[in-house]
Amino acid sequence: NNVHNVRLCLALAKSRAVPTHTLLADFAAGHKVAAVLSYAHENAVEPFLEPSLGICAALLQRVVDERAVDAGRRGDAFAAALDGIAPLLDVVHVLIECSSAGETEVASFAVPSLAAESLKAMVDLLPADASRAVFARDTPLMDAVGALGTAAAVDRGEHGFADVSSVNGGSSPVNGGGSGSPRRGFARAQRSSLSAVAAAARAATQLSPPFDAETLTPGETTQLEATLRRLARGEPC
């Protein structure tokens, strides 16, 4: 119920002293972080946002590691880990929206970075369910993709991504173009977000049917494709 408790939970999620099964099954960490993340997002409690996204990313990384140990055997431990992160499907819309956030909207690029990282991991681990969640009709996908890129950044009063290496004529972190600068951080996060959406689109084509009454309409799909093409033409590689 306070940010210190959330940060303590983040430390536990990252600590390998606590087994993955204990976190996901015994502590129901997937359910709990989904609830906290949803609360933080809906009520604009930004101090909770970054650590709860960090917990989400840490739990998903644990399941990625569990899959590597499982080595394709689909054993009980990996299956249980997948079940443990399933509640995070309920906050895919939050991950989408947070991953498109700009520097005038959140205090740190850690927020979109962690959200994009989590979104990519969800699509990787649960491709069918996550892709349906990404393209569900009630997600903010259209607005989120529209918020990406230079034009949208400039509209928000931010530097465009084309200026990543040349803000104020320099490339140092002080000037906003260094490798650890906020400008680069937001740019990397948005590229990761687009990568996650692309992976979800590839996964969706494997579904039968790929789109249905609960997903984007044909008109929305066409609009999304046009926005993505515009981004591809207008942004630096």
Tens digit of pLDDT for each residue in 175-195?
333 344 566 788 788 888 888
* Percentage of the chain exceeding pLDDT 70: 84
| End-to-end CA gap in the chain | 42
Name the band, by pLDDT with cuts 50, 70 and 90, for residue 108: confident
Question: Among candidates 81, 20, 6, which has minimal Cα distance to 48?
Answer: 6
Tens digit of pLDDT for each residue in 67-95?
999 877 878 899 999 999 999 999 999 99
Tens digit of pLDDT for each residue in 11-52?
999 998 999 999 999 999 999 999 999 999 999 898 999 999
CA angle (125, 130, 134) in 5-degree steps: 145
- Tell me what pLDDT residue 193 has: 85
What are φ and ψ of residue 135, in 5° steps?
-100, 15
